[in-house]
Amino acid sequence: MSSELCFKGNDDISKLCKSLNTGSTSIKRLVVEIDNASNNIQKSSSAMLDATRNSTASIARIQSKSHILAQDATNLLNDTQRAKLSLLKITRSNDELSHKVKASLETSSAIKTRATQMEVEAVHSLEKAIRTYEEKQQNLRKAIEAGRIVDEIHVISASIKEISSQTNILALNASIEAARAGQQGKGFQVVAERVKKLAGESTEAISHIDEMVVQVKNAFLKLGKSSQDILDYMNNEAKADYELLIKTGQQYQRDAQAILSLSEEVHTSTELMGSAVADIEEVIEGVSESSSRAAGYTSEMKESLGEMNVAMSKVTDSMEGQAEMSVQLRESIKRFIIFPSM
């Protein structure tokens, strides 16, 4: 194919030479086209080989990253499980706290009710004690007024005692006059003796009455002092005790109201915390599901990338074989010596 055959004429040899020249030209073009094609194939194979190698390296990196992602997804799933357990403990603790707060609400409400009742009863008792004090004070005044009658009785008894003394003197004088009268005054003397005796008995009775009056007066004085002591105790100590009891009841009410308000705030906080925990639990449940799906997806992606890596390795091997075949083809084509057409 290095040169053309040149025969002139129309004989068979000339025709054969022309046919050989035509075939040689066609073979030249074919060899050139094959050479160009093999050159293009070699370039394309080299580029594709570089691309497949880069793709294989990228797939290997992605596969490594997917392994890390799968591990991270597994760790996240484990973390969400632990978070769910922690939230469960928080929920239980919050429920226990809520029950205790409800019990505290009931207790503080009961304390407030009892404190109110104690204040009401103390007010009633104080009012009753004041009324009793006023009644007893009035009765004591009446008793003191009645005790003054004893003084009047003492005055009357003193008058009677004086009259008895005068009567005794008169009876004595009458006896003396009757003795002077002799026999005629005996009847009068008997009467005088009887009057004298009656005056003595009256004096003795009056003395006994005086003793009784003194005893009654002393009894009235002691009764007045005891009653006044009782009234003073009721007015000072008992009244102060009732007032202290009322103040204590009012303080109990304020304390119970403070505890009640605090318990209500804690109860509201526990309800809000329970709602927040429920929301967080819902979010964590969603994260757990997403993590579970992500772990599945990354595992599947890892497997797919592994399969793709194997396929790309095979493609690389094929491309390397194709590149090698292109080189061999070019080496074979170089054996043909082709000159440009004249």
160-194 tens-digit pLDDT: 777 777 777 777 777 777 677 766 666 666 776 77
**High-pLDDT (> 70) share of the chain, %:** 63
Decide which of 13 and 96 is more confident.
96
* pTM score of the predicted model: 0.43
Instruction: State the helix-helix crossing angle for 12-181 and 186-233, rounded to 10 degrees.
Output: 170
What integer is the mean pLDDT of 34-46?
68
The answer, yes or no, to whether residue 269 has pLDDT greater than 70, is yes
How far is CA 37 from each of CA 1, 46, 195, 241, rounded to the nearest angstrom?
20, 14, 186, 122
pLDDT band (50, 70, 90) for residue 337: low
The answer, yes or no, to whether residue 306 has pLDDT greater than 60, is yes
The answer, yes or no, to whether residue 89 has pLDDT greater than 80, is yes
Q: How many helices (H) and strands (E) does the chain have?
A: 3, 0
Closest CA to 265 of 59, 31, 104: 104
Give the CATH superfamily of 12-333: Methyl-accepting chemotaxis protein (1.10.287.950)
What integer is the mean pLDDT of 139-146?
70
Average pLDDT, whole number, for the chain? 72
Count of all residues that appear for the chain in the document:
342
The answer, yes or no, to whether residue 139 has pLDDT greater than 60, is yes
What integer is the mean pLDDT of 81-98?
79
Give me the helices (H) in 234-333, please. Answer: 239-333
> Which pLDDT does position 310 carry in this prediction?
73
> Which pLDDT does position 258 carry in this prediction?
79
What integer is the mean pLDDT of 121-149?
73
pLDDT band (50, 70, 90) for residue 232: confident
How far is CA 283 from each of CA 83, 291, 293, 298, rounded to the nearest angstrom?
11, 12, 15, 22
Domain ranges of the chain: 12-333
Neighbours of 144 (CB within 10 A): 15
Alpha-carbon distance 19 to 79, whole Å? 85
How far is CA 49 from each of CA 38, 52, 123, 178, rounded to the nearest angstrom?
15, 5, 105, 184
Q: How far is CA 148 from the centre of its chain?
A: 73
Alpha-carbon distance 53 to 57, whole Å? 6
Tens digits of residue pLDDT in 251-263: 877 887 877 787 7
How far is CA 174 from each of CA 2, 169, 180, rounded to the nearest angstrom?
215, 9, 10
DSSP 336: S
> Which pLDDT does position 130 carry in this prediction?
76
